[in-house]
Amino acid sequence: MRLENPRPDETVNYSTEHPLKEFVWLLAGVSAIVAAAVALAGYFAGELAARVPFRVEKEYAAGITRHWEAQRLTPEGGEARATLRMLAAKLAAVMALPPGMDVTVHYADEKTVNAMATLGGNVVFYRGLLERLDSEDAVATVLAHEIAHAKLRHPASGLGRGVAVGVVLSVVSSGMGRGVGGDPVQVAGLLPLLKYNRDQERAADEAALAAVAALYGHVGGAREVFAVLGKLGRDDAARIGFLETHPLSSERLARVDEQARLRGWAPDGPVRELPPALAKLKPAQRTE
Amino acid sequence: MQLVLEYFELILFVVLLALGYSVGRVREKRHYQSIRRREAELAGVLAFGIRFPPDPNAPRECVLVTGSVVVSSDYFKQFVAGLRTLIGGRMAAYETLLDRARREAMLRMKADAVRHGASLILNVKFESTNVGGGMRGGVPAMEVFAYGTALKPAPAPREAPRAA
């Protein structure tokens, strides 16, 4: 018997293809598949959720409404809420809400610089943002923006979309055997979701502009709002547009002018002073 | 700077990927060079899967010889393999890793045989064990263990002391 150990054949057991070639193909292919799956699932889930009757959404969101209604407000806060509700009623009148839909505005005595629309037509306006706005027009623009979200059923479609996208991404994540982390595949999956978000913000901006233009005859308040938002937090230069949930403030400001030009609205005009109940919240005038 | 802080997680990922790729490539290249050199040096030690020696009646001593190696994947390989698990196919990222591990274990076993003065190893077997927590959560790492029976010539029988 002749025994021999030849040298290992290095062309059999492993591929000699450059690893970067496989990496690029896999990354591009998988990212495209995940992004397409997320976009599809997000689209259908969002559309489906937005078709749930508002009455059902409101019942579902009864807990949210109760939570905000149960907030104990100072007399100043109560006055602010009443003023916001009056302003919201004026805006709703020009915004043609669908039959059966109503919007409830809540005032949150917190320093958060934000306002939000959530399920069941609930709109929350935080003190932090109110303190930074200098005119009724600006407050109305924010309110109209949030009412537009409710009118366009964005909170419902956002929830439906979030659930569907969460399911798709968790399946991908467990399939890859890695945490969500900063994986580009996960980022690729989130890109369509962020795009939907930004599209919703643009739609709400447009509806809000139409409402304030109808109410005040110009869109100067919107310019103030986006200028204030632009000064908050990070500079637009330090943001990457397609990774953001909202369009950049600079873009929103430019769109105000563009929309004004296209629709024949006056881009600027005399703004109304803050109603006294809201003016009292400004830090310089607050007694606390 | 603000941009770096904002997208720190993504940047960290890219840095780890680049580091895994570049360091992993260099180390793999060096390891293969070392493997090829030592395979040539130990070419005189033969290893086989057969269970019985070619000449069963020759007087020999048997010694168990082993070689073990634990290898870990790098970040780049791990990521590419993760992508591959989604669509299937040849997992090239781990093929070189395990090829190196098997050959290294074999070399260590042969070196063990040389220490025992043997140049023939029979009934060679490989075992592999996942030691890194698997694909989920942990870094994939494997132990590859090679073992076999080394045969060396039996020492010449001592002559019995003559009676005075």
Cβ contact A22–B80 (<8 Å) = yes
Write down the pLDDT at residue A179: 44
**For testing contact with chain B, the best of A18, A25, A178 (most B CBs within 10 A):** A178
Cβ contact B99–A30 (<8 Å) = no
Average pLDDT over residues A227-248: 70
Average pLDDT over residues A180-188: 60
The reply to whether B160 falls in a domain is no
Write down the pLDDT at residue B162: 67
Cβ contact A4–B12 (<8 Å) = no
pLDDT digits (tens, 9 = 90+) for A212-227: 999 999 999 998 888 8
Average pLDDT over residues A176-201: 71
Question: In A, which residues are within 8 Å of B2 by CB distance?
Answer: 234-235, 238
Write down the pLDDT at residue A152: 93
Write down the pLDDT at residue A241: 63
Cβ contact B92–A30 (<8 Å) = no
Write down the pLDDT at residue B11: 84
**C-alpha–C-alpha distance, residues A165 and A176, integer Å:** 16
Q: Give the containing element (helix H, strand E) for B10.
A: helix B8-41
The reply to whether B116 falls in a domain is yes
Q: What percent of chain A has pLDDT over 70?
A: 91
Cβ contact A27–B83 (<8 Å) = yes
Asked if pLDDT for residue A180 goes beyond 50, the answer is: no
Write down the pLDDT at residue B139: 66
Cβ contact A4–B46 (<8 Å) = yes
**For testing contact with chain A, the best of B29, B83, B100 (most A CBs within 10 A):** B83
CATH number for position B38 = 3.30.110.70
The reply to whether B52 falls in a domain is yes
Question: In A, which residues are within 8 Å of B13 by CB distance?
Answer: 181-184
Residue B137 binned pLDDT confidence (cut-offs 50, 70, 90): low
* Nearest neighbour of B6 by CB, restricted to A5, A30, A238: A238
Asked if pLDDT for residue A85 goes beyond 90, the answer is: yes
Contact yes or no for A56/A257 (Cβ under 8 A): no
Write down the pLDDT at residue A284: 65
Asked if pLDDT for residue A84 goes beyond 60, the answer is: yes
From chain A residues 8-67, the ones with a CB under 8 A of any chain B CB are 8, 13-15, 17, 19-20, 22-23, 26-27, 29-30, 33
* Nearest neighbour of A187 by CB, restricted to B10, B46, B134: B10
The reply to whether B120 falls in a domain is yes
pLDDT digits (tens, 9 = 90+) for B25-78: 999 999 999 999 999 999 999 999 999 888 888 888 999 999 999 988 888 888
* Nearest neighbour of A30 by CB, restricted to B2, B47, B86: B86
The reply to whether B50 falls in a domain is yes
Residues 6 or more apart whose CB falls under 8 angstroms from that of B158 comprise: none
Write down the pLDDT at residue A285: 54
Question: In A, which residues are within 8 Å of B9 by CB distance?
Answer: 181-182
Asked if pLDDT for residue A287 goes beyond 50, the answer is: no
Cβ contact A178–B48 (<8 Å) = no
Asked if pLDDT for residue A43 goes beyond 60, the answer is: yes
The reply to whether B126 falls in a domain is yes
Instruction: Tell me which chain B residue has its CA closest to the CA of residue A239.
Output: B3
* Nearest neighbour of A5 by CB, restricted to B46, B83, B90: B46
Write down the pLDDT at residue B40: 94
Asked if pLDDT for residue A153 goes beyond 50, the answer is: yes
The least confident of A24-28, A123-127, A279-283 is A279-283
Tell me, yes or no, if A233 comes closer than 8 A to chain B by beta carbon.
no
Tell me, yes or no, if A241 comes closer than 8 A to chain B by beta carbon.
no
Average pLDDT over residues A167-176: 78
Average pLDDT, chain A: 85
From chain A residues 156-215, the ones with a CB under 8 A of any chain B CB are 172, 174-179, 181-185, 187
Closest CA of chain B from A254, distance in Å: 23
* Nearest neighbour of B13 by CB, restricted to A15, A30, A181: A181
Asked if pLDDT for residue A182 goes beyond 50, the answer is: no
CB pairs under 8 A between A and B: 91
The reply to whether B67 falls in a domain is yes
Asked if pLDDT for residue B4 goes beyond 50, the answer is: yes
Helix (H, G, I), strand (E, B) or coil at B44: coil
Count of domains observed in chain B: 1
pTM to 2 decimal places: 0.70
Average pLDDT over residues B88-103: 90
pLDDT digits (tens, 9 = 90+) for A91-124: 999 999 998 899 999 999 988 888 999 999 999 9
Instruction: Tell me which chain B residue has its CA closest to the CA of residue A175.
Output: B86
For residue B99, what are the domain limits? Answer: 2-153
DSSP characters over chain A? -----PPP-TTTSS--S-HHHHHHHHHHHHHHHHHHHHHHHHHHHHHHHHTS-HHHHHHHTHHHHHHHHT----HHHHHHHHHHHHHHHHHHHHHTPPTT---EEEEE-S----EEEEGGGEEEEEHHHHTT--BHHHHHHHHHHHHHHHHTTHHHHHHHHHHHHHHHHHHHHHHHTS-STT-HHHHHHHHHHHHHHHHHHHHHHHHHHHHHHHHHSB-HHHHHHHHHHHHSSS-GGG--GGG-SS--HHHHHHHHHHHHHHHT-BS--PPPBPPHHHHTTSGGG---
ipTM above 0.95, yes or no: no
* Nearest neighbour of B13 by CB, restricted to A5, A13, A182: A182
Average pLDDT over residues A58-78: 89
